[in-house]
Amino acid sequence: MDTNATIATPRRLAAFGLVALLSGCAMNPIPTEVPNAQTIAGLEPSGRVIVTEVFAGGGGVGTGALTFKGKTYPFKLAASVIGAGAVEKLDVAGEVYRLDDVKKFSGIWTQGTGGIGLETSGKGDLWLENKAGVVMHLTGTQTGAALTLGRDEVLIELQNVK
């Protein structure tokens, strides 16, 4: 038995992410609404995340950790840039809202990055939402540049969740 077949290497995760994102785009169009401060008004955070993500061309990979109900869950991610592409690094952290079960965290997230055009180094302010209605608001630093249409998709896979 090939034990490597079950290990999620960055290359396998990126390939899976690309296939999932492309198939997801065909079946589930990107939402027109991006979460914002009004979306989470009055809600208490249900968790916290930290993320490091590197983009080159039309895709990115990264790692992070979710802290939820006193436990920390590492995760890997693969992302696509909807636009011409990027060469950038993101170091962000923030709160998670509407998460009541850790199993609802993994999956495809739609990321609102702001307006259409060229994004350059500076402060990052990202809003993400997944199909379960879980929202993340992340802030931090963005180094590099991206030419984007203001929306990206991110596939997040929690590690060590049973």
CA-based Rg of the chain, rounded to a whole angstrom? 15
Q: What is the pLDDT of residue 79?
A: 82
The domain limits of the chain are 3-29+42-158
Q: What is the pLDDT of residue 81?
A: 65
Burial 98-107 (b: 16+ CB within 10 A, else e): bbeebeebbb
Could you give the C-alpha distances from 132 to 31, 40, 66, 94, 98, in angstroms and in order? 13, 15, 16, 18, 9
What pLDDT, in 10s, does the model give residues 101-150?
Answer: 999 999 999 876 555 544 555 677 788 999 999 999 999 987 776 655 55
What pLDDT, in 10s, does the model give residues 60-113?
Answer: 889 999 999 999 999 999 987 665 566 778 899 999 999 999 999 999 998 765
Q: Is the pTM of the predicted complex or chain greater than 0.85?
A: no
Q: Quick one: tokens of 45?
A: 């955070």
**pLDDT-based confidence at residue 5 (cuts at 50, 70, 90):** very low
Dihedral pair phi/psi, residue 9, rounded to 5°: -75, 160
